[in-house]
Amino acid sequence: MNARTWARRNLFRSVPDGVCTIVFGALGLFLLYKTLNYVFFTGRWTIIQDNLKLLMVGRFPVAHLPRLAVSAIVLAGWAGFLAGFVRGRQIRDGKAPAHVSLARRVRAALGRIWLPCTVILLLLLLSTTIGPWLTALGAAAAALAGWLIGPFVGKRRLGRAGATILVLAVAATPLVLYYYIVTAVGFDGWGGFYLNLYLALVSIVLCYPLGVLLALGRRSKLPLIQTISIVYIEAIRGAPLFVLLLLANTALQFFVPADVAPSKPARAIVVFTLFTAAYMAEIIRGGLQSVPRGQFEAARALGLSPTRQTGLIILPQALRNVIPAQIGQLISLFKDTVLAGVAMGLFELLEVADAITQQGDFRGQRLSPEVLAFSGLLFWTVAYTMSRESQRLERRLGVGTR
Protein backbone atom coordinates (compact mmCIF):
# COMPACT_ATOMS: atom_id res chain seq x y z
CA MET A 1 0.00 0.00 0.00
CA ASN A 2 1.52 3.30 -1.09
CA ALA A 3 1.23 6.57 0.84
CA ARG A 4 -1.52 7.95 -1.39
CA THR A 5 -3.75 4.92 -0.92
CA TRP A 6 -3.13 4.89 2.84
CA ALA A 7 -4.03 8.60 3.13
CA ARG A 8 -7.22 8.11 1.12
CA ARG A 9 -8.33 5.20 3.30
CA ASN A 10 -7.38 6.64 6.68
CA LEU A 11 -7.49 10.42 6.38
CA PHE A 12 -9.80 11.36 3.50
CA ARG A 13 -12.33 8.51 3.34
CA SER A 14 -15.21 11.01 3.30
CA VAL A 15 -15.80 14.76 3.29
CA PRO A 16 -16.17 15.01 7.11
CA ASP A 17 -13.02 12.91 7.55
CA GLY A 18 -11.12 15.19 5.18
CA VAL A 19 -12.31 18.34 6.98
CA CYS A 20 -11.29 16.89 10.37
CA THR A 21 -7.91 15.87 8.99
CA ILE A 22 -7.21 19.35 7.61
CA VAL A 23 -8.47 21.24 10.69
CA PHE A 24 -6.78 19.11 13.33
CA GLY A 25 -3.65 18.71 11.21
CA ALA A 26 -3.32 22.50 10.98
CA LEU A 27 -3.96 22.82 14.72
CA GLY A 28 -1.31 20.19 15.43
CA LEU A 29 1.25 21.95 13.25
CA PHE A 30 0.48 25.27 14.95
CA LEU A 31 0.96 23.75 18.42
CA LEU A 32 4.18 22.07 17.28
CA TYR A 33 5.47 25.39 15.94
CA LYS A 34 4.63 27.20 19.18
CA THR A 35 6.26 24.47 21.26
CA LEU A 36 9.48 24.41 19.25
CA ASN A 37 9.60 28.21 19.20
CA TYR A 38 9.22 28.29 22.98
CA VAL A 39 11.83 25.59 23.59
CA PHE A 40 14.51 26.92 21.25
CA PHE A 41 13.91 30.68 21.05
CA THR A 42 11.56 32.38 23.51
CA GLY A 43 12.05 30.19 26.60
CA ARG A 44 14.35 31.69 29.24
CA TRP A 45 16.26 28.63 30.41
CA THR A 46 19.02 30.46 32.28
CA ILE A 47 17.19 29.81 35.53
CA ILE A 48 17.44 26.06 34.89
CA GLN A 49 21.13 26.17 34.03
CA ASP A 50 22.02 28.29 37.05
CA ASN A 51 20.05 26.08 39.45
CA LEU A 52 20.57 22.66 37.89
CA LYS A 53 22.29 21.29 40.98
CA LEU A 54 19.44 22.44 43.23
CA LEU A 55 16.83 20.97 40.93
CA MET A 56 18.54 17.58 40.75
CA VAL A 57 19.91 17.00 44.27
CA GLY A 58 18.64 19.92 46.35
CA ARG A 59 20.89 21.08 49.16
CA PHE A 60 23.13 18.02 48.99
CA PRO A 61 26.62 19.24 50.02
CA VAL A 62 28.99 19.76 47.12
CA ALA A 63 31.79 18.06 49.07
CA HIS A 64 29.84 14.80 49.09
CA LEU A 65 28.64 14.83 45.48
CA PRO A 66 31.37 12.31 44.55
CA ARG A 67 29.50 9.79 46.72
CA LEU A 68 26.46 10.21 44.50
CA ALA A 69 28.64 9.79 41.43
CA VAL A 70 30.21 6.58 42.76
CA SER A 71 26.79 5.25 43.72
CA ALA A 72 25.38 6.01 40.26
CA ILE A 73 28.28 4.19 38.56
CA VAL A 74 28.02 1.15 40.84
CA LEU A 75 24.23 0.97 40.39
CA ALA A 76 24.64 1.15 36.62
CA GLY A 77 27.09 -1.75 36.72
CA TRP A 78 24.77 -3.63 39.08
CA ALA A 79 21.79 -3.17 36.76
CA GLY A 80 23.85 -4.13 33.71
CA PHE A 81 25.07 -7.28 35.46
CA LEU A 82 21.53 -8.32 36.33
CA ALA A 83 20.37 -7.71 32.76
CA GLY A 84 23.28 -9.75 31.38
CA PHE A 85 22.75 -12.54 33.91
CA VAL A 86 19.05 -12.81 33.01
CA ARG A 87 19.88 -12.81 29.31
CA GLY A 88 22.41 -15.60 29.86
CA ARG A 89 19.76 -17.73 31.54
CA GLN A 90 17.30 -17.04 28.72
CA ILE A 91 19.88 -18.14 26.14
CA ARG A 92 20.60 -21.37 28.03
CA ASP A 93 16.87 -22.05 28.38
CA GLY A 94 16.30 -21.43 24.67
CA LYS A 95 14.07 -18.39 25.30
CA ALA A 96 16.41 -15.95 23.53
CA PRO A 97 18.65 -16.31 20.46
CA ALA A 98 22.28 -16.95 21.28
CA HIS A 99 23.70 -15.03 18.33
CA VAL A 100 22.31 -11.57 17.60
CA SER A 101 24.12 -9.01 15.48
CA LEU A 102 25.60 -6.00 17.23
CA ALA A 103 23.57 -3.60 15.06
CA ARG A 104 20.35 -5.31 16.09
CA ARG A 105 21.30 -5.17 19.76
CA VAL A 106 22.11 -1.47 19.49
CA ARG A 107 18.78 -0.75 17.77
CA ALA A 108 16.89 -2.71 20.41
CA ALA A 109 18.69 -0.89 23.24
CA LEU A 110 18.13 2.54 21.70
CA GLY A 111 14.47 1.71 21.12
CA ARG A 112 14.07 1.12 24.85
CA ILE A 113 16.18 3.88 26.39
CA TRP A 114 16.26 6.63 23.77
CA LEU A 115 14.13 8.98 25.85
CA PRO A 116 16.12 8.71 29.12
CA CYS A 117 19.36 9.02 27.16
CA THR A 118 18.07 12.14 25.40
CA VAL A 119 17.07 13.78 28.68
CA ILE A 120 20.39 12.84 30.31
CA LEU A 121 22.23 14.39 27.36
CA LEU A 122 20.13 17.53 27.79
CA LEU A 123 21.06 17.70 31.47
CA LEU A 124 24.73 17.24 30.61
CA LEU A 125 24.56 20.08 28.10
CA LEU A 126 23.03 22.32 30.76
CA SER A 127 25.78 21.42 33.21
CA THR A 128 28.69 23.83 33.60
CA THR A 129 31.16 21.37 35.18
CA ILE A 130 32.89 18.22 33.97
CA GLY A 131 31.75 16.08 36.91
CA PRO A 132 28.36 15.05 35.46
CA TRP A 133 30.01 14.12 32.15
CA LEU A 134 32.52 11.87 33.91
CA THR A 135 29.73 10.30 35.97
CA ALA A 136 27.62 9.61 32.86
CA LEU A 137 30.55 8.07 30.97
CA GLY A 138 31.50 5.97 33.99
CA ALA A 139 27.92 4.77 34.43
CA ALA A 140 27.65 3.84 30.74
CA ALA A 141 30.96 1.95 30.87
CA ALA A 142 29.94 0.15 34.08
CA ALA A 143 26.56 -0.84 32.65
CA LEU A 144 28.20 -2.21 29.49
CA ALA A 145 30.81 -4.11 31.50
CA GLY A 146 28.15 -5.59 33.77
CA TRP A 147 26.03 -6.60 30.78
CA LEU A 148 29.01 -8.40 29.20
CA ILE A 149 30.07 -10.12 32.43
CA GLY A 150 26.57 -11.22 33.45
CA PRO A 151 26.11 -14.08 30.93
CA PHE A 152 29.66 -15.29 31.57
CA VAL A 153 29.04 -15.59 35.30
CA GLY A 154 25.76 -17.36 34.64
CA LYS A 155 27.48 -20.08 32.62
CA ARG A 156 29.79 -21.14 35.39
CA ARG A 157 29.02 -23.91 37.84
CA LEU A 158 29.07 -21.80 40.96
CA GLY A 159 27.77 -24.48 43.25
CA ARG A 160 25.45 -23.85 46.15
CA ALA A 161 27.97 -21.81 48.15
CA GLY A 162 28.97 -19.68 45.17
CA ALA A 163 25.36 -19.06 44.16
CA THR A 164 24.49 -18.05 47.71
CA ILE A 165 27.38 -15.61 47.89
CA LEU A 166 26.42 -14.14 44.50
CA VAL A 167 22.79 -13.64 45.52
CA LEU A 168 23.80 -12.03 48.82
CA ALA A 169 26.28 -9.72 47.08
CA VAL A 170 23.71 -8.62 44.49
CA ALA A 171 21.04 -8.06 47.16
CA ALA A 172 23.42 -6.20 49.47
CA THR A 173 24.72 -3.75 46.83
CA PRO A 174 21.84 -1.21 47.06
CA LEU A 175 21.91 -1.37 50.87
CA VAL A 176 25.65 -0.78 51.00
CA LEU A 177 25.31 2.20 48.66
CA TYR A 178 22.47 3.59 50.78
CA TYR A 179 24.59 3.50 53.93
CA TYR A 180 27.53 4.88 51.98
CA ILE A 181 25.49 8.00 51.20
CA VAL A 182 23.41 8.38 54.35
CA THR A 183 26.40 8.14 56.68
CA ALA A 184 27.81 11.25 55.01
CA VAL A 185 24.59 13.19 54.40
CA GLY A 186 21.44 12.47 56.39
CA PHE A 187 17.93 12.57 55.00
CA ASP A 188 17.57 16.24 55.89
CA GLY A 189 20.25 17.13 53.32
CA TRP A 190 18.56 15.28 50.45
CA GLY A 191 16.35 17.05 47.97
CA GLY A 192 15.46 17.77 44.38
CA PHE A 193 14.55 15.14 41.83
CA TYR A 194 16.93 12.74 43.56
CA LEU A 195 14.63 12.75 46.59
CA ASN A 196 11.55 12.09 44.43
CA LEU A 197 13.26 9.10 42.84
CA TYR A 198 14.39 7.76 46.20
CA LEU A 199 10.96 8.05 47.81
CA ALA A 200 9.29 6.35 44.85
CA LEU A 201 11.85 3.55 44.49
CA VAL A 202 11.90 2.54 48.15
CA SER A 203 8.11 2.78 48.44
CA ILE A 204 7.67 0.59 45.35
CA VAL A 205 10.04 -2.05 46.69
CA LEU A 206 8.23 -2.13 50.05
CA CYS A 207 4.60 -1.80 48.95
CA TYR A 208 4.60 -4.60 46.40
CA PRO A 209 5.13 -7.57 48.74
CA LEU A 210 2.82 -5.98 51.32
CA GLY A 211 0.13 -5.61 48.67
CA VAL A 212 0.48 -9.28 47.70
CA LEU A 213 0.14 -10.37 51.32
CA LEU A 214 -2.93 -8.17 51.82
CA ALA A 215 -4.56 -9.55 48.67
CA LEU A 216 -3.95 -13.12 49.82
CA GLY A 217 -5.12 -12.20 53.33
CA ARG A 218 -8.39 -10.78 52.02
CA ARG A 219 -9.07 -14.08 50.23
CA SER A 220 -7.97 -16.14 53.21
CA LYS A 221 -10.43 -18.56 54.80
CA LEU A 222 -9.17 -17.63 58.28
CA PRO A 223 -11.67 -15.07 59.63
CA LEU A 224 -9.15 -13.09 61.69
CA ILE A 225 -6.67 -12.63 58.84
CA GLN A 226 -9.44 -11.83 56.38
CA THR A 227 -11.03 -9.27 58.71
CA ILE A 228 -7.74 -7.52 59.44
CA SER A 229 -6.92 -7.33 55.73
CA ILE A 230 -10.36 -5.99 54.80
CA VAL A 231 -10.35 -3.36 57.56
CA TYR A 232 -6.85 -2.18 56.63
CA ILE A 233 -7.55 -1.99 52.89
CA GLU A 234 -10.86 -0.18 53.22
CA ALA A 235 -9.58 2.22 55.89
CA ILE A 236 -6.49 3.24 53.94
CA ARG A 237 -8.27 3.49 50.59
CA GLY A 238 -10.92 5.68 52.17
CA ALA A 239 -8.43 8.30 53.37
CA PRO A 240 -6.81 10.90 51.08
CA LEU A 241 -3.06 10.50 50.67
CA PHE A 242 -2.49 14.18 51.40
CA VAL A 243 -4.27 13.86 54.76
CA LEU A 244 -2.17 10.83 55.70
CA LEU A 245 1.00 12.75 54.90
CA LEU A 246 -0.18 15.67 57.04
CA LEU A 247 -0.93 13.31 59.92
CA ALA A 248 2.51 11.73 59.62
CA ASN A 249 4.07 15.18 59.70
CA THR A 250 2.08 16.76 62.55
CA ALA A 251 0.29 14.10 64.59
CA LEU A 252 3.18 11.71 65.08
CA GLN A 253 4.73 13.96 67.72
CA PHE A 254 1.75 13.34 70.01
CA PHE A 255 2.52 9.60 70.11
CA VAL A 256 6.29 9.35 69.60
CA PRO A 257 8.93 11.49 71.36
CA ALA A 258 10.70 13.89 69.03
CA ASP A 259 14.14 12.43 69.75
CA VAL A 260 13.12 8.94 68.56
CA ALA A 261 10.70 9.93 65.78
CA PRO A 262 11.86 8.97 62.26
CA SER A 263 12.91 11.63 59.81
CA LYS A 264 10.39 13.21 57.47
CA PRO A 265 11.53 11.26 54.38
CA ALA A 266 11.20 8.02 56.37
CA ARG A 267 7.67 9.01 57.41
CA ALA A 268 6.81 9.79 53.80
CA ILE A 269 8.09 6.39 52.70
CA VAL A 270 5.96 4.65 55.34
CA VAL A 271 2.84 6.57 54.24
CA PHE A 272 3.46 5.93 50.53
CA THR A 273 4.09 2.25 51.24
CA LEU A 274 0.98 1.70 53.35
CA PHE A 275 -1.23 3.73 51.01
CA THR A 276 -0.08 2.13 47.76
CA ALA A 277 -0.10 -1.38 49.27
CA ALA A 278 -3.84 -1.06 49.91
CA TYR A 279 -4.53 -0.17 46.27
CA MET A 280 -2.08 -2.79 45.05
CA ALA A 281 -3.89 -5.41 47.14
CA GLU A 282 -7.17 -4.70 45.36
CA ILE A 283 -5.47 -4.85 41.96
CA ILE A 284 -3.86 -8.18 42.78
CA ARG A 285 -7.13 -9.49 44.23
CA GLY A 286 -8.71 -8.74 40.86
CA GLY A 287 -5.92 -10.71 39.22
CA LEU A 288 -6.55 -13.65 41.55
CA GLN A 289 -10.23 -13.59 40.64
CA SER A 290 -9.34 -13.65 36.94
CA VAL A 291 -7.51 -16.99 37.22
CA PRO A 292 -9.84 -19.77 35.93
CA ARG A 293 -11.20 -22.13 38.54
CA GLY A 294 -9.69 -25.03 36.62
CA GLN A 295 -6.20 -23.82 37.54
CA PHE A 296 -7.00 -24.22 41.24
CA GLU A 297 -8.39 -27.70 40.66
CA ALA A 298 -5.41 -28.71 38.52
CA ALA A 299 -2.99 -27.51 41.20
CA ARG A 300 -4.80 -29.57 43.85
CA ALA A 301 -4.88 -32.57 41.52
CA LEU A 302 -1.08 -32.43 41.29
CA GLY A 303 -0.90 -32.88 45.05
CA LEU A 304 0.71 -29.51 45.71
CA SER A 305 0.40 -27.94 49.14
CA PRO A 306 -1.73 -24.76 49.43
CA THR A 307 1.42 -22.65 49.67
CA ARG A 308 2.94 -24.16 46.53
CA GLN A 309 -0.39 -23.94 44.72
CA THR A 310 -0.48 -20.21 45.35
CA GLY A 311 3.21 -19.51 44.80
CA LEU A 312 3.78 -21.65 41.71
CA ILE A 313 0.45 -21.80 39.90
CA ILE A 314 -2.06 -19.15 40.95
CA LEU A 315 -0.10 -16.05 41.92
CA PRO A 316 2.16 -15.89 38.80
CA GLN A 317 -0.92 -15.98 36.56
CA ALA A 318 -2.72 -13.38 38.67
CA LEU A 319 0.23 -10.96 38.62
CA ARG A 320 0.63 -11.46 34.88
CA ASN A 321 -3.02 -10.63 34.22
CA VAL A 322 -2.92 -7.25 35.98
CA ILE A 323 0.44 -5.88 34.84
CA PRO A 324 -1.08 -2.70 33.30
CA ALA A 325 -3.01 -1.83 36.46
CA GLN A 326 0.02 -2.49 38.66
CA ILE A 327 2.32 -0.28 36.61
CA GLY A 328 -0.34 2.42 36.50
CA GLN A 329 -0.53 2.43 40.27
CA LEU A 330 3.26 2.56 40.61
CA ILE A 331 3.42 5.49 38.16
CA SER A 332 0.78 7.23 40.26
CA LEU A 333 2.92 6.61 43.35
CA PHE A 334 5.93 8.19 41.65
CA LYS A 335 3.96 11.30 40.72
CA ASP A 336 2.42 11.53 44.20
CA THR A 337 5.86 12.03 45.75
CA VAL A 338 5.45 15.76 45.03
CA LEU A 339 2.76 15.82 47.76
CA ALA A 340 5.48 15.17 50.34
CA GLY A 341 6.88 18.62 49.64
CA VAL A 342 3.59 20.41 50.31
CA ALA A 343 2.41 18.27 53.23
CA MET A 344 5.72 17.60 54.98
CA GLY A 345 8.02 20.40 53.86
CA LEU A 346 10.45 18.14 52.00
CA PHE A 347 12.69 19.95 49.52
CA GLU A 348 11.66 17.85 46.53
CA LEU A 349 11.68 18.95 42.89
CA LEU A 350 8.55 21.12 42.80
CA GLU A 351 9.48 22.83 46.05
CA VAL A 352 12.88 23.63 44.54
CA ALA A 353 11.22 24.83 41.34
CA ASP A 354 9.04 27.22 43.32
CA ALA A 355 11.92 28.43 45.48
CA ILE A 356 14.32 29.30 42.66
CA THR A 357 11.80 31.67 41.04
CA GLN A 358 12.08 33.79 44.20
CA GLN A 359 15.83 34.27 43.89
CA GLY A 360 17.04 37.83 43.53
CA ASP A 361 18.18 37.35 39.93
CA PHE A 362 14.86 35.86 38.82
CA ARG A 363 12.21 37.35 41.13
CA GLY A 364 9.31 38.95 39.30
CA GLN A 365 10.30 37.65 35.87
CA ARG A 366 7.43 35.12 35.65
CA LEU A 367 9.70 32.13 35.05
CA SER A 368 7.30 29.58 36.53
CA PRO A 369 6.44 28.13 33.06
CA GLU A 370 10.11 27.33 32.43
CA VAL A 371 10.73 25.58 35.75
CA LEU A 372 7.41 23.72 35.61
CA ALA A 373 8.11 22.60 32.03
CA PHE A 374 11.52 21.30 33.09
CA SER A 375 10.03 19.51 36.12
CA GLY A 376 7.26 18.03 33.99
CA LEU A 377 9.81 16.74 31.48
CA LEU A 378 11.70 14.85 34.20
CA PHE A 379 8.55 13.27 35.63
CA TRP A 380 7.16 12.43 32.21
CA THR A 381 10.42 10.78 31.17
CA VAL A 382 10.38 8.38 34.11
CA ALA A 383 6.64 7.69 33.84
CA TYR A 384 6.78 7.13 30.07
CA THR A 385 9.77 4.80 30.41
CA MET A 386 7.94 2.76 33.06
CA SER A 387 4.89 2.55 30.81
CA ARG A 388 6.92 1.43 27.79
CA GLU A 389 8.74 -1.24 29.80
CA SER A 390 5.38 -2.42 31.09
CA GLN A 391 4.12 -2.80 27.52
CA ARG A 392 7.27 -4.67 26.58
CA LEU A 393 6.78 -7.05 29.50
CA GLU A 394 3.15 -7.57 28.49
CA ARG A 395 4.18 -8.53 24.96
CA ARG A 396 6.82 -10.96 26.25
CA LEU A 397 4.36 -12.63 28.60
CA GLY A 398 1.51 -12.59 26.08
CA VAL A 399 -0.90 -10.59 28.23
CA GLY A 400 -4.28 -10.32 26.49
CA THR A 401 -3.50 -13.09 23.99
CA ARG A 402 -4.45 -16.73 23.92
- Structure confidence by residue, pLDDT tens digits, 245-276: 999 888 877 777 777 778 888 899 999 999 99
DSSP 262: P
Q: What is the pTM of this model?
A: 0.89
Label residue 400 by pLDDT band (50, 70, 90). Answer: low
Instruction: Tell me how far apart the alpha carbons of residues 321 and 315 are, in angstroms, rounded to a whole number.
Output: 10
Q: Quick one: 187-402 is in which CATH superfamily?
A: MetI-like (1.10.3720.10)
Q: Are 349 and 196 in contact (CB under 8 A)?
A: yes
Q: Are 65 and 133 in contact (CB under 8 A)?
A: no
- Reference 309, options 319, 296, 293; nearest CA is 296
Most confident of 139-148, 176-185, 270-279, 293-302: 270-279
Instruction: Tell me how far apart the alpha carbons of residues 249 and 265 are, in angstroms, rounded to a whole number.
Output: 10
Q: Where are the alpha helices (DSSP H) in 51-101?
A: 52-57, 65-92
Q: Are 385 and 120 in contact (CB under 8 A)?
A: no
| Exposed e or buried b per residue across 159-181, where buried means at least 16 C-beta atoms within 10 angstroms of its C-beta | eeeeeeebeeeeeebbeebeeeb
pLDDT value at 199 more than 70: yes
Domain borders along the chain are 52-185, 187-402
pLDDT at 189: 84
Q: How far is CA 342 from CA 142, 241, 349, 375, in A?
A: 37, 12, 11, 16
Q: Are 278 and 236 in contact (CB under 8 A)?
A: yes
Label residue 154 by pLDDT band (50, 70, 90). Answer: low
Give the number of other Cβ atoms within 10 Å of residue 301's Cβ.
Answer: 9
pLDDT at 402: 53
pLDDT digits 0-9 by tens, 295-327: 888 888 888 888 888 888 888 889 988 988 999
Average pLDDT over residues 83-104: 69
Q: Are 250 and 267 in contact (CB under 8 A)?
A: no
Opening angle at CA 381, ends 182 and 24, nearest 5: 160
